[in-house]
């Protein structure tokens, strides 16, 4: 793995020839389009060259470069860790040693070992998962990260609702375990974040932002929800007006 990888921004300087995937019998048009997009994606090429598990690593790098979340010595939980790119970034930026792991991830998909982290092979929706994460981490986290997304069905509204459910579960977890002053970052989809979730985050965090990092493909509907400055657990009283909650959101 190369050094000095923490630079965000658009991948540049890639003047390689465009790769065209030929039509083949049995290869669906959608699969061919995905393969061609991957082969020509400068972030994919850069990730392979720099040793990141996936192009998604640059999304976290770019968000952290802007908002300075991953402080040295911080404890991190990574929900939906596969294939491990976010864990790699977290380990490098917080300085997580092998003998005192400060980054714990979880996924129901296998993840190859990442020095400085522990990955639980477990579904986060399993009722045993939250306790297992905190026990493995050895205490409450400073940051909860979630790049979870439900498998797509092709129906945009259904996909949005399923991923929003994961975002809500992740937010509930973050609110229940974070240290005061901690942060929560999760993936959602454009198309309207549920008002109840926004009001909940506004009650518990000092600031809430919608963020779309440059590494997120232009045509993608994914968006990241960042809640900064955890205020501590509070009684769930009547929610704030949703319009007021959304008015403070900032775009990068």
Residue-range domains of the chain with CATH:
53-247 (3.40.50.150)
161 pLDDT more than 60: yes
32 pLDDT more than 60: no
**Where is pLDDT greater, at 152 or 137?**
137
State mean pLDDT over 56-70. Answer: 97
**How high is the pLDDT of residue 26?**
56
147 pLDDT more than 90: yes
pLDDT band at 102 (very low <50, low <70, confident <90, very high): very high
Record the pTM. 0.79
pLDDT band at 65 (very low <50, low <70, confident <90, very high): very high
Rounded to the nearest integer, the mean pLDDT of the chain is 81
Nearest to 242 by CA among 205, 199, 204: 199
Give the ranges where 117-211 is alpha helix by DSSP (H): 129-137, 156-177, 195-204
Contact 81, 113 (CB under 8 A): no
What is the C-alpha separation between 154 and 212, in angstroms, rounded? 22
Residues contacting residue 44 through CB under 8 Å, at least 6 positions apart: 38, 55
**How high is the pLDDT of residue 173?**
98
Active-site residue list? 187
């Amino acid at each position: 793995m190369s050094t000095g990888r923490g630079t965000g921004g658009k991948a540049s300087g890639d003047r390689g020839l465009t790769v065209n995937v030929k039509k083949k019998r049995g290869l669906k048009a959608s699969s061919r389009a995905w393969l061609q997009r991957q082969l020509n994606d400068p972030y994919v090429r850069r990730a392979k060259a720099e040793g990141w598990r996936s192009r998604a690593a640059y999304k976290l790098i770019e968000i952290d470069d802007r908002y300075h979340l991953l402080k040295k010595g911080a404890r991190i939980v990574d929900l939906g860790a596969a294939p491990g790119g976010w864990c790699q970034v977290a380990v490098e930026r917080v300085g997580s040693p092998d003998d005192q792991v400060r980054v714990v991830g979880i996924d129901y998909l296998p993840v190859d070992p990442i020095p400085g982290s522990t990955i639980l092979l477990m579904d986060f929706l399993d009722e045993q998962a939250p306790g297992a994460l905190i026990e493995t981490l050895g205490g409450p986290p400073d940051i909860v990260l979630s790049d979870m997304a439900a498998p797509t069905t092709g129906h945009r509204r259904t996909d949005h609702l399923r991923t929003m459910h994961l975002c809500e579960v992740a937010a509930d977890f973050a609110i229940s375990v974070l240290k005061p002053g901690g942060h929560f970052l999760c993936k959602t989809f454009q198309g309207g974040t549920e008002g109840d979730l926004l009001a909940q985050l506004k009650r518990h965090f000092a600031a809430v932002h919608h963020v779309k990092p440059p590494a997120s493909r232009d045509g993608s509907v994914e968006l990241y929800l960042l809640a900064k400055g955890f205020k501590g657990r509070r009684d769930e009283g009547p929610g704030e007006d949703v319009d007021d909650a959304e008015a403070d959101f900032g775009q990068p």
